[in-house]
Chains A and B, each alone.
Chain A
Amino acid sequence: MAESQLYELTVIFDSQGEESDIQREFDIVQSLIEKRCKEFIGRSEWGQRDFAYPIKKRKSGYYVYYLFRADVEAPGLISSAIKMDEKVLRHLLVKTKPSAIDYLNKQKQIKEQIERDVSEIEESKRDLEKVEEKTTENSGSIVDEQIE
């Protein structure tokens, strides 16, 4: 029996359309892989990127990276299934080394860190707004006292 291999797939999705539709498309491709692979390891969204040259008259697209372990026959089936998808502009499916798993974990850590930073910034903004509200209230009361 043939041993399973580690594969990585990078897909460029069409950025035209609604955000929710594009997100659904990411899940469709993931389910497509999960049906045919042995073990789905994870995915990483690179977000919208500008192309170095236009592809199908588009100037930008959404990049999503998938990592999975599959048998030798699976990549052919997966890429032929992806080709049918109209929302996919281009895809690259290659064999990879176990270091790709580290890359995926690193990407996850970076994403979590960014989310944490964003939440911290939002919290500090809310605190600042509260302080500003309090100061305006206080200054208003001082002015009222002076008028009296």
Chain B
Amino acid sequence: MIKKKKRREHRRPKPCQFCKDSTLQINYKNFKLLRRYINERGKIVARRNSGVCARHQRQLAREIKRARFLALVPYSVYIYR
């Protein structure tokens, strides 16, 4: 008996938030926005998880590093377990 192959669901990738809304500015001064793109450990969220395009991910990483230098955003957060 021939088994039917399962069809893989193809999800359309979400459009980049910054491409969609040009008013959103990626800047270390806007560190409240940057906090959305770091996890609870203080790491920069990968673009496969955040859905940001390559161009804006590069900008995000640069600005998060600037915000870290100015102590606006933490380098790392220790979670006690």
Which A residues have a C-beta under 8 Å from some C-beta of B? 10, 12, 49, 51-53, 55, 61, 63, 65, 90, 92, 94, 99, 103
Which of B16-66 touch A at CB < 8 Å?
25, 27-29, 66
Which of chain A's residues have a CB closer than 8 A to the CB of B70? Answer: 10, 12, 63, 90, 92
Q: What's the dominant secondary structure at chain A's contact region?
A: strand
CB distance from A106 to the nearest CB of B (A): 11
A-B contact pairs, 13 of them (CB 8 A): A10-B29, A10-B70, A12-B70, A52-B72, A52-B73, A53-B75, A55-B71, A90-B70, A90-B71, A92-B66, A92-B69, A94-B66, A103-B29
* In the complex, residue of chain B having the shortest beta-carbon distance to the beta carbon of A60: B71
CB distance from B37 to the nearest CB of A (A): 15
CB distance from B39 to the nearest CB of A (A): 14
The interface size bin for chain B is 10 to 19
Q: Please pick, from A52, A94, A103, the residue contacting B71 in the complex, using a CB distance under 8 A.
A: A52
Q: Which of B25, B68, B71, B72 has the most CB of A within 10 A?
A: B71
Which of chain B's residues have a CB closer than 8 A to the CB of A65? Answer: 29
* In the complex, residue of chain A having the shortest beta-carbon distance to the beta carbon of B30: A103
CB distance from A96 to the nearest CB of B (A): 9
Q: Which of A52, A63, A90 has the most CB of B within 10 A?
A: A52
* In the complex, residue of chain B having the shortest beta-carbon distance to the beta carbon of A89: B71
Report how far A55 CA is from B68 CA in the complex, Å.
12
Which of chain B's residues have a CB closer than 8 A to the CB of A51? Answer: 71
Which of chain B's residues have a CB closer than 8 A to the CB of A90? Answer: 69-71
Which of chain A's residues have a CB closer than 8 A to the CB of B66? Answer: 92, 94
Which of chain B's residues have a CB closer than 8 A to the CB of A99? Answer: 25
- Can you add 17 more A-B contacts, CB < 8 Å, to A52-B74, A92-B28, A99-B25? A10-B28, A10-B70, A12-B70, A49-B72, A51-B71, A52-B68, A52-B75, A53-B71, A55-B71, A61-B71, A63-B70, A65-B29, A90-B69, A90-B71, A92-B66, A92-B70, A103-B29
